[in-house]
């Protein structure tokens, strides 16, 4: 296996990960989404209680890590910047910011809404990555994450504002994502608007639109436009934008599709969408989406997403009691044990209703702190605690709860 040796990053252990989800124990019975939605019009989408039929077997803490599938773009951006190539750095950062959307294509299930204090760790030495996320607030629903890669750190918190508008649900992400390279260069951007269509008839799907601005202390900034789909759109999912220098001069043009690939050409190329001169043969490829998973299920998870809820050999003993992988309803769903999944989900949701009280009585996240601007920062210590298998102060959030501690008004 001579080639393999060269491909893998020397020094990083390879972890054998699964290629498919477990085969379901039972067949699932369908449920009408509309019959459930019509009773919930105007409510916060993240808090609507739906049967597990509408869930995919990963939590939003895990889904957050899906945005890092193409983290090698950041490794590349770090190397380029270190060699003094600031333009290549921002081009790769921009491609990374778009690449996170590719996993949403073909997905139509809702991730599990984590319980307050639930966490998720992803130790991917084969990618040179350490990722950690925690649900830091239940009202409003807030997640925070912190990730370290080869030469960079990436962090942020995610909150969604949702609006139901008859034809679709609109999700507006609130908050900024920050990327900091070890040489001190930083970039910040926010995610664009996501719409979910076909809630009433047909297959549910999502689309993304809006302007993404990537800025920081670099000499370059980048503007990317995610084009809103229209009924007559023959070429959906388009992203188009420019890298600009301090004076506002366009030094490179980016174009592509969030579910497929991104390219660039030097200089300014006018015309939005797919400019004629910008056929891929004259442009340079920055990012191309991985092949879809060969063993696709109804959930349409990517090969990368399939690995997120797996408990690889030796991992169970290392996890804190709050990790998403230990959440029983999600595990049941993954195994195709739908009755168990539904009853456990109901039990945990009942339990979750005491979170508001918990939060009001001064509950604080274990691994993140809120700063003056209301954004969350990792306080550190998770991987150190894991090293010592010391999970003091990590509550048993998935177990039975004591009825007396719950407000009977719910
Ligand atoms: C009502 C239910 C059954 C419909 C299922 C809707 C699916 C398509 C929804 C539910 C939650 C949604 C995700 C929620 C949050 C984000 C973060 C955002 O920055 C990009 C889109 C993304 C990743 C959404 C994609 C679409 C999504 C997966």
CA 396, 398, 404, 410 torsion-angle sign? positive
pLDDT digits (tens, 9 = 90+) for 325-335: 999 999 999 99
Residue 171 counted as domain residue: yes
43, 45, 50, 52: CA torsion to nearest 10? -170
* CATH code, domain carrying 137: 2.40.160
- Bridge partners of 376, per DSSP, are 370
191 and 212 Cβ atoms separated by less than 8 Å: yes
Ligand 1 centre and the CA of 170: distance in Å? 10
Query: How confident is residue 201, by pLDDT bands cut at 50, 70 and 90?
Result: confident
pLDDT digits (tens, 9 = 90+) for 91-122: 999 999 999 999 999 999 999 999 999 999 99
Residue 260 counted as domain residue: no
- Which pLDDT score is estimated for 401? 66
User: Helices H, strands E: what count in the chain?
Assistant: 10, 18
Q: Which residue's structure tokens are 């009977």? A: 408
Residue 370 counted as domain residue: no
Residues contacting ligand 1 via CB (< 6 Å):
33, 54, 104, 107-110, 160, 171, 173, 191, 194, 196, 204, 206
Instruction: Give the nearest ligand 1 atom to 66 CA.
Output: 23
Structure tokens at 85: 């190539």
Instruction: Give the nearest ligand 1 atom to 48 CA.
Output: 1
SS3 82: helix
Which run of H or E residues covers position 6?
Answer: helix 2-7
64, 108, 171, best to mutate for ligand 1 pocket (most atoms within 8 Å of CB): 171
Q: Which residue has the higher pLDDT, 404 or 402?
A: 402
Interatomic CA distance for residues 64 and 75, integer angstroms: 19
9, 12, 14, 15: CA torsion to nearest 10? -130
Interatomic CA distance for residues 4 and 140, integer angstroms: 46
Instruction: Give the nearest ligand 1 atom to 110 CA.
Output: 10
- Which pLDDT score is estimated for 9? 53
- Count of structural domains within the chain: 1
> For the chain, what percent of residues have pLDDT higher than 70?
91
Closest by CA to 368, choosing from 143, 131, 186, is: 143
Residue 27 counted as domain residue: no
Instruction: Give the nearest ligand 1 atom to 33 CA.
Output: 3
Ligand 1 centre and the CA of 243: distance in Å? 29
Ligand 1 centre and the CA of 44: distance in Å? 13
Ligand 1 centre and the CA of 174: distance in Å? 14
Query: How confident is residue 409, by pLDDT bands cut at 50, 70 and 90?
Result: very low
- Which pLDDT score is estimated for 323? 98
Range of the domain at 58: 33-208
- Which pLDDT score is estimated for 47? 66
214 and 94 Cβ atoms separated by less than 8 Å: yes
Q: What is the ipTM of this complex?
A: 0.94
Residue 294 has a CB neighbour count (10 Å cut-off) of 8
Residue 71 counted as domain residue: yes
Average pLDDT (223-238) is 90
pLDDT digits (tens, 9 = 90+) for 142-189: 999 999 999 999 999 999 999 988 778 999 999 999 999 999 999 999
342 and 51 Cβ atoms separated by less than 8 Å: yes
Residue 398 counted as domain residue: no
- Which pLDDT score is estimated for 123? 97
Residue 137 counted as domain residue: yes
Q: What is the pTM of this model?
A: 0.90
Least confident of 229-233, 236-240, 259-263, 264-268: 229-233
- Which pLDDT score is estimated for 307? 97
Ligand 1 centre and the CA of 304: distance in Å? 17
Residue 93 counted as domain residue: yes
């Amino acid at each position: 296996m001579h080639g393999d040796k060269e491909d893998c990053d020397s020094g990083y252990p390879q972890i054998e990960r699964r290629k498919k989800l477990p085969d379901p124990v039972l067949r699932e019975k369908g449920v009408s989404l509309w019959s459930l939605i019509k009773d919930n019009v105007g409510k916060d989408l993240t808090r609507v209680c739906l049967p597990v039929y509408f869930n995919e077997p990963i939590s939003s803490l895990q889904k957050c890590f899906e945005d890092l599938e193409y983290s090698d773009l950041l490794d590349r951006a770090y190397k380029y910047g270190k060699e003094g190539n600031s333009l290549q750095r921002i081009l790769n950062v921009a491609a990374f910011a778009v690449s996170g959307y590719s996993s949403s294509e073909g997905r139509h299930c809702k991730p599990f809404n984590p319980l307050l204090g639930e966490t998720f760790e992803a130790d991917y030495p084969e990618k040179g990555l350490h990722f950690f996320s925690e649900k830091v607030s239940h009202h409003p629903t807030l997640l925070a994450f912190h990730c370290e890669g080869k030469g960079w750190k990436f962090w942020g918190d995610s909150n969604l504002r949702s609006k139901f508008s008859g034809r679709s649900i609109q999700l507006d992400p609130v908050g900024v994502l920050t990327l900091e390279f070890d040489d001190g260069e930083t970039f910040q951007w926010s995610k664009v608007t996501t719409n979910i269509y076909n809630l009433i008839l047909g297959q549910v799907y999502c689309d993304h639109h809006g302007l993404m601005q990537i800025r920081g202390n670099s000499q370059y900034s980048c503007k990317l436009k995610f084009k809103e789909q229209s009924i007559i759109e023959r070429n959906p999912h388009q992203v188009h934008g420019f890298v600009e220098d301090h004076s506002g001069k366009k030094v490179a043009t980016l174009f592509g599709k969030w579910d497929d690939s991104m390219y660039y050409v030097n200089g300014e190329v006018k015309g939005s969408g797919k400019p004629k001169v910008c056929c891929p043969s004259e442009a340079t490829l920055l990012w191309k989406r991985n092949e879809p998973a060969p063993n696709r299920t109804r959930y349409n998870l990517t090969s990368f997403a399939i690995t997120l809820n797996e408990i690889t050999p030796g991992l169970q003993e290392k996890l804190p009691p709050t990790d998403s992988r230990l959440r029983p309803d999600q595990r049941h769903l993954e195994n195709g044990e739908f009755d168990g999944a539904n009853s456990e989900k109901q039990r945990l949701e009942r339990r979750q209703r005491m979170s508001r009280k918990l939060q009001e009585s001064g509950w604080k996240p274990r691994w993140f702190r809120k700063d003056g601007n209301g954004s969350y920062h990792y306080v550190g210590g998770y991987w150190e605690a894991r090293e010592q298998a010391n999970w003091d102060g990590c509550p048993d959030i998935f177990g039975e709860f004591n009825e007396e501690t719950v407000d009977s008004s719910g």
